[in-house]
Amino acid sequence: MIEVNNLHKSFGDNHVLKGISTTFEKGKTNLIIGQSGSGKTVFLKSLLGIFEPDEGTISFDGKIYSELEENEKRELRTELGMVFQGSALFDSMTVEENVMFPLKMFSNQSKSEMADRVDFVLKRVNLLDAEKRYPSEISGGMQKRVAIARAIVMNPKYLFCDEPNSGLDPKTAILIDNLIQEITDEYQIITVINSHDMNSVMEIGEKIVFLKDGIKAWEGTNKEIFKTDNEAVTDFVYSSNLFKKVRQAYIDEN
Amino acid sequence: MIIIKVIVIILLLSIQFLDDKPYFYPMIYIENLGRYFAMLRKVFSKPVKWLILKDLILKEMNDLINNSLGIVAFISFFVGGVVTIQTALNIDNPFIPKYLIGFATRQSIILEFAPTFVSIIMAGKVGSFITSSIGTMRVTEQIDALDVMGVNSLNYLVFPKIVAMSLYPFLIAIGMFLGILGGWTAGVVGGLTSSEAFTTGLQMDFKTYHIAYAFIKTVVFSFVLATVPAFYGYYMKGGALEVGRASTTAFVWTSIVIIVLNFILTQLILG
């Protein structure tokens, strides 16, 4: 379990995170939603250790990150997988080399063992013919799948995704969402996703944390979000007429 | 002491016009200097696996040294020729022996042109390559990806460049040889001097200490060429436009650091 307790983060006079507390459980896809500038990315980057919190703690299965020794932090980082918004694949490496990179860096496996593992995860994300191609030679959706393969190649306990389906067409976005949910369920990992996409919220949001101006304004599941009276959430989630109608239909039906 | 103080004041005042900031920001320069040394400490800590470093070093040797051979050879040969022509044309007095053309060419190329001015050219070529490649990795979150994985991104990105640049003195040695060859070609083929006179000038009053001085400078400049552009690439913020700006700033500052260190090293070694 990831436990976040009273997390504060400021940049100069800009107080971005104002005391966020929440938990993320094993085998669930957790979504962080909120308007641009609400602190989602800072929150995710704080979870990843890229930003050091000014106050509060983040613990991974009982281990408080800020209290760990440097080598323990490094060890913990090998248990984290991250899918960046722009995929963040290494331009100078092929798809295969990108996925193999964490193995080369942190495992003591032989070349054939590493190649087998890369083959396995590329099959898992349905990318079989692209292994010798460079990131610039494949589509955005394929790049996201390579990023997911790279994130899971070390069998992480925790998977973080920053807007994994931004810039993708709706069909590919659903494929990526489903893939993340399947992997979370299959490997029983803790997945935390930053998202703007309301389809993702409705489809895979087993737990949703809504941030507004650096404060946790609401949390619940994708079922509960239909019924909530929290105005900030409904304003954000049901900002389009289509979603307003979907919500009304759901309420009428239930 | 007074001369040094005056030079420092002139330097600080002139720096503000070289940078794209309209007025003097002494605290920013001091802060950047501190961050640069903090960066160096991280570069040499927590090294990544040798298996990975080895490949990176070979790749950097190809990118930074091998790919610069052509431009260094071309510029050195022709500048050597120009030095010879200008020296020859400025010797009007018949009492001045022709072998001084070879002597002046040798001294100019070995002491100043090859180590210092080739380094300024390399600040443009290699420096902007380093800044833009690291800056692009920063913009596209590739550096964040390395950090999240637990890789020491500074060691991974900068250390192989420093090691690769240890071959830079060989590049400068080639520049010295071709510069003098260019001088000989321009002087002899152009009929400005004889081959014997030029060679006599080359051998005249030769001090191996001058070669040592040139290579000491080269080694220091190679470190500057690898690290200052890396600093501007690694700590840049923004998008594609800022990558371009960072490359320009890196070129300006690398050139400034090389010129200042050239002055200090010359004073220390030859002064």
pLDDT digits (tens, 9 = 90+) for B92-129: 788 888 899 999 999 999 999 999 999 999 999 999 99
Does residue B190 sit in helix, strand or coil? coil
| A151 close to B148: Cβ distance less than 8 angstroms | no
Confirm or reject contact between A23 and chain B (CB < 8 A). no
Task: Considering only residues A245 and A55, tell me which one the structure prediction assigns the higher pLDDT.
Answer: A55
For residue A209, what are the β-bridge partners?
A32, A219
Average pLDDT over residues B136-144: 93
Q: For chain A, what are the domain ranges?
A: 1-79+157-221, 91-155
Mean pLDDT for A21-36 is 91
How many other C-beta atoms are found inside a 10 Å radius of the C-beta of residue B96?
11
A27: pLDDT strictly greater than 80: yes
Of A50, A74, A78, the CB nearest to B144: A50
Q: What percent of chain B has pLDDT over 90?
A: 75
Give the DSSP letter string of B21-55.
SSS--HHHHHHHHHHHHHHHHHHTSSPPPHHHHHH
Of the candidates A85, A88, A105, the beta carbon closest to that of B49 is on A105
What are the tens digits of pLDDT across the range A117-135? 999 999 888 887 888 999 9
A211-215, B127-131, B156-160, range with the lowest pLDDT: A211-215
Residue B58 has pLDDT above 70, yes or no: yes
Interface test with A, best of B149, B153, B157, B237 (most A CBs within 10 A): B149
CB contact under 8 A, A50 and B51: no
pLDDT at B19 over 60: no
The yes-or-no verdict on residue B7 having pLDDT over 80 is: no
Q: What is the pLDDT of residue A228?
A: 83
Q: For B208-218, write each residue's pLDDT tens digit.
A: 999 999 999 99
Cα–Cα dist A199/B233, whole Å: 38
Residue B12 has a pLDDT of 66
pLDDT of residue A77: 86
Of A80, A82, A86, the CB nearest to B140: A86
Q: Is this complex's ipTM strictly greater than 0.90?
A: no
> Residue B161's pLDDT band (boundaries 50, 70, 90)?
very high
Q: Which SS3 state, helix, strand or coil, does residue A208 take?
A: strand
What would the pLDDT profile of A65-103 be if each residue is shown by its tens digit? 989 888 888 888 888 999 998 889 999 999 999 999 999
Least CB–CB distance from A80: residue in B49, B141, B148 = B148
Asked if residues A106 and B150 have their Cβ atoms less than 8 Å apart, the reply is: yes
Give the Cα separation of A210 and A221 in Å (integer): 11
pLDDT at A58 over 90: yes
- Please state the domain extents for chain B: 70-269
pLDDT at residue A169, rounded to an integer: 83
Give dist(CA B181, CA B206) in Å, integer. Answer: 17
Q: Flag whether pLDDT at A13 surpasses 90.
A: no
Q: How far apart are CA A159 and CA A121, in angstroms?
A: 15
Residue A5 has pLDDT above 90, yes or no: yes
Contact present, B218 and B169 (Cβ < 8 Å): yes
From its phi and psi, is residue A39 left (phi > 0), alpha (psi between -120 and 50) or beta? left
pLDDT over 70 percentage in chain A: 100
Q: What is the pLDDT of residue A130?
A: 87
Please answer yes or no on whether A78 and B141 come within 8 Å at the CB atom: no
For the record, the structure tokens of B45 come out as 């800590």
Supply the pLDDT for residue A177.
87
Token code pair at residue A14? 């800009």
Say how far apart CA B61 and CA B63 lie, in whole Å.
6
User: Which amino acid is present at B157?
Assistant: L
- Residues in chain B whose beta carbon is closer than 8 A to a beta carbon of chain A? 46, 48-49, 51-52, 59, 136, 140-142, 144-145, 147-151
* Closest CA relative to residue A206, chosen from A16, A10, A27, A11: A27
CATH 3.40.50.300 fits A1-79+157-221, yes or no: yes
* 3-state percent helix, strand, coil for chain B, nearest multiple of 5: 85, 0, 15
To the nearest 10 degrees (0 to 180), the angle between helices B153-164 and B128-139 is 160
A19: alpha, beta or left, given left = phi > 0 and alpha = psi -120 to 50?
left
Q: Which residues of B122-144 are buried (b: 16+ CB within 10 A; e: fewer)?
A: bbbbbbbbbbbbbbbbbbbbbbb
Q: Residue B91: CB partners within 8 Å, gap ≥ 6?
A: B98, B100, B101
DSSP notation for A51-120: S--SEEEEEETTEEGGGS-HHHHHHHHTTEEEE-TT----TTS-HHHHHHHHHHHH----HHHHHHHHHH
Answer whether residue A46 shows pLDDT above 80: yes
**Rounded average pLDDT over A186-190:** 90
DSSP state of A158: E
Average pLDDT estimate for B68-73: 96
d(CA B225, CA B254): 7
Residue B1 pLDDT > 70, yes or no?
Answer: no
CA distance A136 to chain B (A): 13
Reported as a pLDDT band with limits 50, 70 and 90, residue B25 is low
Among chain B residues, CA nearest to A88: B142
